[in-house]
Copies of this chain bind each other. A is one copy, B any other.
Amino acid sequence: MAETSHSMATQICNQIATIFTKPTTTPPPLDLLVDQISTTSAQKGRIFVYGVGREGLMLKALCMRLAHLGLSVYCVFDMTTPPIGPTDLLIASAGPGGFSTVDAICKVAKSNGALVLLLTAQPESGSSVEYATVVAHVPAQTMADDHQVGHVDESRPLLPMGSLYEGVLFVLFEMVVFKLADILGQTPEAVRARHTNLE
């Protein structure tokens, strides 16, 4: 192997970190997420997360940490998820701009008076944007533009399809959790105590 483990890892991590230096057409996703989550929490509202595929997994990872912070948070499609209403927040993701079920869930949330925060790399053209109250632009490659890249340089990209966007979500959500822990006054011990033992 010409390429070592470390240099590949560094390249991937740099690709992810670089996204955070790119201009966004909306206020920074970190600020939008922290503001909306802390506002919802202050108003005793509930937080819901929804995404599909690997984006959905990253939102579930966020959901677990928000539960660790003591927030009322739910994954859409869990058995215990309540109805969404006016004081609630839906955090959804549609990297390439839209997915049929993301559109559907966002539409239901908005029509029931909830605030819909949509993460997307396509803030102008995406179909899900139509149902968002707040759009958070994550300027990373997704399946909407990975094809082009592949054709331009004729080589296999290190991060295929939506992987860069998904990696950025992972890092972004860690930042969100760090900021929120501070705002909510949650000590590491309190957070840890909410981690399940049933695993």
| Contact, CB under 8 Å: B77 / A78 | no
Oligomer: number of copies: 4
Interface of A is mostly: helix
* Complex CA–CA separation, A57 to B49 (angstroms): 15
We find that the number of chain A residues with CB closer than 8 angstroms to chain B is: 89
A133 smallest CB distance to B (angstroms): 16
Q: What are the residues of chain B within 8 A of A181 when measuring CB–CB?
A: 156, 160
Stretch at the interface among A37-45, A97-105, A118-126: A97-105
A176-194 interface mask toward B, CB cutoff 8 Å, 1 = contact, 0 = none?
0110011000001101111
Q: What are the residues of chain B within 8 A of A167 when measuring CB–CB?
A: 170-171, 174
Q: What are the residues of chain B within 8 A of A157 when measuring CB–CB?
A: 188
* Complex CA–CA separation, A146 to B195 (angstroms): 13
List the B residue with the shortest CB-CB distance to A94: B199
A107 smallest CB distance to B (angstroms): 7
Q: What are the residues of chain B within 8 A of A163 when measuring CB–CB?
A: 65, 174
| Contact, CB under 8 Å: B82 / A194 | yes
